[in-house]
Amino acid sequence: MTAASSLARPAPGGPHSRGGGVRARRSAASTLRYAALIAGAVVMVTPFVYMVSTSFKSQAYVLTVPPQFIPNPATTDNYTQALTTQDFGLYFLNSAVVAVISTALSVLLSSMMAYGFARYRFPGRELIFRILLIGLVVPAMMLIIPQFVLAKNLGLLDSLAGLVVFYVAGSLALNTFLLRGFFEAIPEELDQAMQVDGAGAFTRYWRLALPLAKPALATATIFTFLATWDEFVWSLTIINSPAHRTLPVAIKLFQGQNATQWGLVFAASLLAVIPVVVVFLVFQRYFVQGLTTGAVKG
């Protein structure tokens, strides 16, 4: 071996070997990261896949061991029974009416409150806002009895209006907190320019603030609709007559006293998931935009 060839070969532990070691460590870390994400995804998705599978099984094949993720034989009887028994359609309609009205009122009122907190200076503004935020730290179960007494005094027991009023009240704090940050990020010069053109407070709120805050409004809409659509405890507490029951209560009625028909329960639950998925798909673009904006602005 000549002296020139020995000089051309990299020495052990040189920069090339260190670079290869760094790339190997990065590749191993990336592989480990993807493996952890895949494992987490499998853990999250498996119960839902089993739920879908069980909804197409007859009662005799629900509790088989080992569990079957591909139903054999498959049947749609559970969906037929869920849609045609125990006034499932009426309960679905009640939940839809309550969720849509509650979401619309909550987003409207909270956006007005958030715009007021973001754009106007008045005595006690921060104190009032902090008092409003107390609603975020009080557990909902602690308010069941006071809410029941208040609903009784207001004549709201056993009515869909009683659900709407308290659903809206319970979601105002979070929605106002979310929307205030977006409204504060809108440059005040835009408000001042509209004000010079003669626009009043409501016009600036409706034609400037709301269109620019679509990502935040989408986030508030998704959270509020999901919370009101799936709410069970308050509905079970104040609703007595079958004509006013909501969908979560209807799904509970499918669970018998002696044996639960899990295929029927899972079929009804999947039907109840459909509106939530639809709402998320409708507002997904704005929702993702809101998350990205928050990440960029820090």
The token duo for 34 is 């993807």
Asked whether the predicted pLDDT for residue 156 surpasses 60, the reply is yes
Asked whether the predicted pLDDT for residue 295 surpasses 50, the reply is no
Whether the CB-CB separation of 56 and 50 falls below 8 Å is answered with no
Tell me the residue length of the chain. Answer: 298
User: Can you give the pLDDT at residue 232?
Assistant: 92
* Rounded Cα gap, residues 264 and 77, in angstroms: 8
* Rounded Cα gap, residues 97 and 86, in angstroms: 19
Asked whether the predicted pLDDT for residue 180 surpasses 50, the reply is yes
More confident: 15 or 283:
283
More confident: 255 or 176:
176
Phi-psi region of 13 (alpha: psi -120 to 50; beta: other; left: phi over 0): left
Phi-psi region of 68 (alpha: psi -120 to 50; beta: other; left: phi over 0): beta
Asked whether the predicted pLDDT for residue 246 surpasses 60, the reply is yes
CATH level 2 (architecture), domain 81-297:
Orthogonal Bundle (1.10)
Mean pLDDT of the chain: 85
Mean pLDDT of 189-199: 89
Mean pLDDT of 40-45: 92
Asked whether the predicted pLDDT for residue 118 surpasses 60, the reply is yes
Mean pLDDT is lowest, of 26-40, 53-67, 144-158, 226-240, for: 53-67
Longest dimension (CA), the chain: 101
Domain residue extents for the chain:
17-75, 81-297
22-26, 79-83, 118-122, 162-166 — most confident range: 162-166
Letter string b/e over residues 123-143, b meaning 16 or more CB atoms within 10 A of that residue's CB: eeeeeebeebeebeeeeeeeb
Give me the DSSP letters along 178-189.
HHHHHHHHS-HH
